[in-house]
Amino acid sequence: MSEFDFQITREGAVARLDLNRPGEGNALTRAMMRRLAAAIRELGSDETIHVIVVEGRGPQFCTGRDGKGEDRSGMTPYDVRVHMMGAVLDAYQAVADAQVPVVALVHGDALGFGAALAAACDITLAAADAAFAFPEIEHDIPPTMAMCAALGKVPEKALAYLIYSAEKIDAASAVSLGLASKVLAAETFRGDGLAFVRQLAARPRRVLEIIKRYQGKAGRLPPDMAAEYAGTLLALVRS
């Protein structure tokens, strides 16, 4: 992994993954997305890590995908799906697959892939000056992959409006629509965000794993099966 793509630091049970391209608004190439996914999976499998934090260096969280230099000439639709679209989808899947909570600390702009990555994380803390948008339609691109990251978190009507309008919304609106979890004061954002993360990381890893596992699967189960699954997981923890 290139140190120029990400800066990974560990503090006790917290792993912090900083997007480290401030000069490009932390926009990521597809190769960088693959490395991001690999880093999240590696950190999530480390038994000493209880929480993974994703944040951005510089004034922005992530302004989307960096497509400079991409060339699809000669590619079949299958090649495009696997080699180009797969990198984006794998980043979202890595967050879902991580055994522990992934927390996004969002300041400045979270656009396109950046907004979808923020939505995909288990908890998204947003600075009061953060802004979110899905501007793909303005470039005649249907952002189906970004939408898949937000499904189940953003209500259908709200997601449709965000996608069709490409409107940039503030942090408070992002919380109300399900893109973010909580707004923190911009002046103390970094300190307050890390204080929350450290408090969360002090919990037993197994407890955090079970909560994430249940939340990720129970919503797709019938109510009686969701209740049975809840009891089974709790019994495993308490036994």
User: Total domain count for the chain?
Assistant: 2
0.75 exceeded by pTM: yes
Burial class (CB in 10 A: 0-12, 13-18, 19+), 38: middle
Q: Find the domain containing 209 and state its range.
A: 204-238
pLDDT confidence of residue 134: 97
Instruction: Say whether 197 sits in a helix, a strand or coil.
Output: helix
The answer on 233 and 157 residing in a single domain is no
The answer on 209 and 191 residing in a single domain is no
Express the helix, strand and coil content of the chain in percent, nearest 5 each. Answer: 50, 20, 30
Residues 6+ apart with CB under 8 A from 141: none
**Contact call for residues 61 and 193 (beta carbons, < 8 A):** no
The answer on 91 and 106 residing in a single domain is yes
pLDDT confidence of residue 52: 98
- Which CATH number is 147's domain given? 3.90.226.10
The answer on 154 and 74 residing in a single domain is yes
- What's the maximum distance between 2 C-alpha atoms anywhere in the chain? 57
pLDDT tens digits for the chain (239 residues)?
445 578 899 999 999 999 999 999 999 998 899 999 999 999 999 999 999 999 999 999 999 988 775 656 666 765 566 556 788 999 999 999 999 999 999 999 999 999 999 999 999 999 999 999 999 999 999 999 999 999 989 999 999 999 999 999 999 999 999 999 999 999 999 999 999 999 999 999 999 999 999 988 888 889 898 999 898 888 877 77
pLDDT confidence of residue 76: 72
Distance between CA atoms of residues 205 and 201, nearest Å: 8
pLDDT confidence of residue 235: 86
